[in-house]
Every structure is written in C-alpha cells, then in structure tokens.
Amino acid sequence: MTLELDTFTKKLLAERVKLEAELGGVSVRPNPKDPNNWEATYETPADIAEEHTADIDPMDVAETIGNYEKGFALNKELEQRLALVNHSLEKVEAGTYGKCDVCQSMIPLARLEANPADATCITHSK
C-alpha cells in the first residue's frame, strides 16, 4: 500500500479546521487549561436559576435545558471526532499513520480514503 501522506495530512488538517469551526458554532471554546477539551459558553440550567428568583418561567427553564442538552451532545460528538483527527495527525508526525493502533497492521487504503482519521483496521474497529 502506498500512502500519500501529503494528501491525507491535508484532508486531516482541513477536517480539523472544519470541526473547530463547528465547535465554535455550538457556542463552545477551547478550554484554556486543556486545549484538547472544549467548554460550553452557552447558558446552563444553573445559570438561569442564578439569574432568576421565584419568577422563573418554566418554559424558559425547559428551553434552556433543551438547548444545553443539544449543545452538550453535539459538543461531545465533535470533540471526539476532533480527538481522532488530532491523533491521526500525531501518527503522521510519528511515522505511524496508516497502522492499526491495536495490532500495528496496515489499515486498508480504501478505509483511510473513506475516513482519514480511522485508527484501526477492520478487525479492531469498534
């Protein structure tokens, strides 16, 4: 198998830019203490409780909770994908890109073309 590392590196870098933009679009930002982790900048249910007293509108609370849950779920999914992309870029740097993380066998080229951030062979896919 001949890996064109430049091509895969460009794809991974482009995906990282896209994922970071998407993360920013769901109101999250990189955690200053851990750049591999993103934190919410949207209103949480605790925030709305602090801002209001007995006059809390149940609809506002429900909307805030719903928005928080959607943002949290999307944030988690995007973070996981970004971690895979960053892991793959680290493997490019280490000279191990294209090898399965579990058994070290070469990942089929078609699999990497479909998903450049794939870190395992078919046998060890989750």
* pLDDT of 3 higher than 50: yes
* pLDDT of 111 higher than 50: yes
**pLDDT band, very low/low/confident/very high, at 117 (cuts 50, 70, 90):** very high
Residue whose C-alpha is closest to residue 39's, from 68, 81, 66, 2: 68
Phi and psi angles of residue 68, each rounded to the nearest 5 degrees, phi first: -65, -45
The single residue listed with the structure tokens 């605790």 is 46
Which pLDDT tens digit goes with each residue over 55-107? 677 777 777 777 777 777 888 888 899 999 999 999 999 999 999 999 999 99
Which pLDDT tens digit goes with each residue over 18-35? 998 888 776 566 677 776
Task: Show the beta-strand stretches assigned E in the chain.
Answer: 28-31, 34-40
List residues bridging with 39 in a β-sheet.
Answer: 29
Number of other CB atoms surrounding residue 88 within 10 Å = 24
In the prediction, which pLDDT does 75 show?
A: 81
List residues bridging with 28 in a β-sheet.
Answer: 40
pTM over the 0.85 mark = no
* pLDDT of 115 higher than 70: yes
Which pLDDT tens digit goes with each residue over 44-56? 656 666 665 556 7
